[in-house]
Structure 1
């Protein structure tokens, strides 16, 4: 992946996942990739992957279920 040097990596991965959620690649109710999957796909640290998932939750795009995973929330209709 070509990283933008002036943008934190967590933010870049966040924006990729956000776009996938908004374009329907990950539909409401779909499970998002976990920490290890994000680590493998993007080559980011596990702590960075956790931050991405937490930021998605904080933005209302995902909900975390401890011990189960992180899932896309139902998005409001435009």
Structure 2
């Protein structure tokens, strides 16, 4: 819940924090095995126009794999 609150604060700030800051948050959430939260936040980032980098894609692909969503991992890998 704290992570989602922090994400909300990050997207309210203008300009947005760097992708490195978003990646740190996603990585921290993934480490506590909240893969569905990471995936949801990744989708929100995309909707907000926050450009992903290779590290972001790696985090998301790992979360898809760990949550048994291999088809989505492969789809993201194909981008």
With normalisation by structure 1, the TM-score equals 0.42
Q: Which has the larger share of strand?
A: 1
Q: Which has the higher contact order (CA 8 A, sep 6+)?
A: 1
Q: Which has the larger share of helix?
A: 2
With normalisation by structure 2, the TM-score equals 0.42
